[in-house]
Each structure stands twice: as structure tokens, then as C-alpha cells.
Homo-oligomer: A and B are copies of this chain.
């Protein structure tokens, strides 16, 4: 039986994106964002949405750069923490015992302990209601060699990223079983 629900920003799954930026005196900061996704293939771009009140917003506008850090399962607590407090009050890297490494390509820090990090250069800014969409070109990727598989690309079962179950399931989940091959399973229908 179909139910018609009121509009809500609920997409399943939503990623867990930890955004790295530099603030005043190049103090590194990180923030938890679930609003975002790939924006284009060529050049590879990603979009993240941030509220104007956030320190991260100010930092991206100033530096025109950010990183997107993907936590593995074992960093779920730290990832959650970065969404609970503001970088205006806490050095979240220090409190969460994470290490800020300066990107060689953009003026933003990435999280050394996380398995997969995108280094992004701001290319466009779009205001959408409550949020600002920052569109960044992915100019480089830093990955733990252990999470790479075929063709030196990240293997999702090795990265072990987490996802946000959104407001209906206020929790983080891991990646489950393989369900089907992409670009292949659909070949059972008419081509």
C-alpha cells in the first residue's frame, strides 16, 4: 500500500563525507556532511552542500578548496563527532585524535588515517535554499594502498565506507553483500 509522505531530504543511502578545510591561521578543520555526490565525470567533480552558518562554509569561500574524506567503519565515532561540535570551539582533529596532512595539490588538509580522500578545487558555488552547494573539481586522490584493488582503483569492500541511514534510521551502516554485477545484470532484458 502506497503512502504519500511530506517532502523531506531523505535519500537512501546517503554518503558520509568528512569535509577538510583550513581556517584562521591555517588551523585544520573537519565537518560531517551527508549532502553531496559526484557532479560530473569529465573533469571529475563532486558537489557538497554546506549551511552558510558553518565554519567550513567560510573556509571554502576563502580558500576555494576542500577535501572529501571517506571514513572506514572503524572511524564512525570520529566521523560522527565532527558533526556534533563546531570548529569555532574545538580543534576537531586533535579531539578526535586524527592527523591533518596538507594536500600537495589544494590548500586543504586531508585526514591521514582515513582510507580514501578526494582533493578538490572549488569551481562553482550554487545557493539552494538552506544550503550552498560547493562544486569542486577532484584534482587528486589520496588512498591507502591497502584499499586498492583492480587497476589501482579503490575496492569498496576494502575501503569499508559507512553510509547514513538518514532521519528514518539515525545510524551509520556498513556495506553489505554484493547483489549484482553492474553494467551486466541488466543484460537479461532486451538489448
- The chain A residues found within 8 Å of chain B, CB to CB, are 1-15, 34-47, 49, 68, 70, 73, 76-85, 90, 95-96, 104, 112, 116, 118, 123-124, 126, 128-131, 133, 135, 137-146, 148-157, 159, 161-191
Contacts and interface: CB of A to CB of B under 8 A. Distances in A.
Nearest to A77: B185
A185 B80 contact: yes
A37 B137 CA distance: 16
A181 B170 contact: yes
Given A35-B41, A156-B168, 10 more contacts: A4-B140, A9-B38, A15-B37, A38-B49, A42-B130, A77-B186, A80-B180, A126-B126, A165-B178, A175-B175
Nearest to A112: B2
Contacts of A85: 190-191
9 contacts: A3-B152, A12-B116, A47-B47, A47-B128, A83-B186, A85-B190, A156-B166, A171-B180, A172-B185
Contacts of A150: 168
A128 B45 contact: yes
**Count of this chain's copies in the oligomeric assembly:** 2
Contacts of A12: 15, 70, 116, 154, 156, 159, 161
The 5 closest A-B pairs by CB, nearest first: A37-B37, A81-B186, A153-B168, A80-B186, A176-B176
Per DSSP, are chain A's interface residues mostly helix, strand or loop, or mixed?
mixed
A156 B144 CA distance: 29
